[in-house]
Structure 1
């Protein structure tokens, strides 16, 4: 399956934004939610992690020494034990989720204390640009853009996180010309 022209460039920009956060976590046990059909992010960070698990409804299931993937559809729960990971990533995934509050609560549950939830999600400025690039120019995946449920600004991300006691946004930046959010959320409590 050939990707539209801009997809790999945007993915590299997301990975570049996130990789240093993952590198900073000692003995990183990573869950990548929405890892994609070929788990590119997990493969890229493999040298910096203890192990990583990727989940996605379209992933090819694999099991290597440090990486495994599981084919599954996200609903309201994650099939992992409490406090199983010290990092969870969601790169360009939150905008596709029907029940973001429930999934973020599950992310909190599976994170160890002091663990990091690292995400990228398109901002509101991105909507008309992505739609133009997908539907008029064809350089981004039309199906992916059609599946977007919501575009987020910092206030909306804060509202999602503030409903979960013990979660705190510790870093937020815009990238890709201000159209994408990069966010690091820390689990500061076990309650």
Structure 2
């Protein structure tokens, strides 16, 4: 599901980008208790206006970043923002049917995108498929309590059914084959998680 006009404004606002750089990035990097792994190929699902691309490249140290989005406007904006950047590939894609081969990436990032995906469980399975064994899935998400309340429903547009909380997200991750390395949540409203695809694991069909 694409963002509505208000959420586009919020995501693009300089304050949102400042929070992502100053608060969210250190929190996400802190999930890696034993230091960041070497990341040759990274994937961002739902690139939006491109702040996550910079975080993945500079913060996580990814040599090559592939960023996908369902919204052509977002991709067009990122293409202009990162013009002639050799380490970036942009593509239009649905999170539930990623157009990549198995075991393509060392790192996959979801920066508050899956709560917009109707079949988010299938998106988790797709991430497991495209991650290399030993690869990392970094998740920053809004949960049911944050988006399925009267205020949020009035202001924003999210799928009304099949939303999730912190525990349900983790249950789905484990069912797909992931191991939970570390996580935090805030009052059940939002959370961050580092999930690892075990070495030797194969994608679940």
Q: Whole-Å Cα distance in 2 between the matches of residues 28 and 102 of structure 1?
A: 25
User: Does the 8 Å contact 2:115/2:163 carry over to 1?
Assistant: yes
Cα distance, 1:52 vs structure 2: 0.4
User: Does the 8 Å contact 1:122/1:151 carry over to 2?
Assistant: no
Q: Whole-Å Cα distance in 2 between the matches of residues 151 and 10 of structure 1?
A: 25
Q: 2:85 aligns with which of 48, 61, 64?
A: 64
- Which residue matches 1:168? 179
Distance 1:148 1:8, change over 3 A: farther
Q: Whole-Å Cα distance in 2 between the matches of residues 45 and 75 of structure 1?
A: 18
Q: Any unmatched runs of 5+ in structure 1?
A: 136-141
Q: Any unmatched runs of 5+ in structure 2?
A: none
With 86-95 and 60-69 compared, the bigger mean Cα shift is at 60-69
After TM superposition, the structure 1 = structure 2 runs for residues 19-168 of structure 1, keeping only pairs within 5 Å, are 19-20=29-30, 24-36=36-48, 38-47=49-58, 48-58=61-71, 59-60=75-76, 62=79, 64-72=85-93, 74=94, 76-127=96-147, 132=151, 135=154, 142=155, 145-149=156-160, 151-164=163-176, 166-168=177-179
Give me the TM-score of the superposition, normalised by structure 1. Answer: 0.77
Q: Whole-Å Cα distance in 2 between the matches of residues 124 and 24 of structure 1?
A: 30
Distance 1:128 1:95, change over 3 A: closer
User: Does the 8 Å contact 1:91/1:121 carry over to 2?
Assistant: yes
1:103 is paired with a residue of what secondary structure? helix
- Which residue matches 2:193? 183
Q: Whole-Å Cα distance in 2 between the matches of residues 81 and 65 of structure 1?
A: 21
With 58-67 and 90-99 compared, the bigger mean Cα shift is at 58-67
Cα distance, 1:80 vs structure 2: 0.7
RMSD of Structure 2 on Structure 1 (CA): 2.8
Distance 1:9 1:106, change over 3 A: same
Q: Whole-Å Cα distance in 2 between the matches of residues 57 and 163 of structure 1?
A: 26
Cα distance, 1:117 vs structure 2: 0.8
Q: Whole-Å Cα distance in 2 between the matches of residues 50 and 71 of structure 1?
A: 21
Q: Whole-Å Cα distance in 1 between the matches of residues 169 and 89 of structure 2?
A: 29
Distance 1:85 1:75, change over 3 A: closer
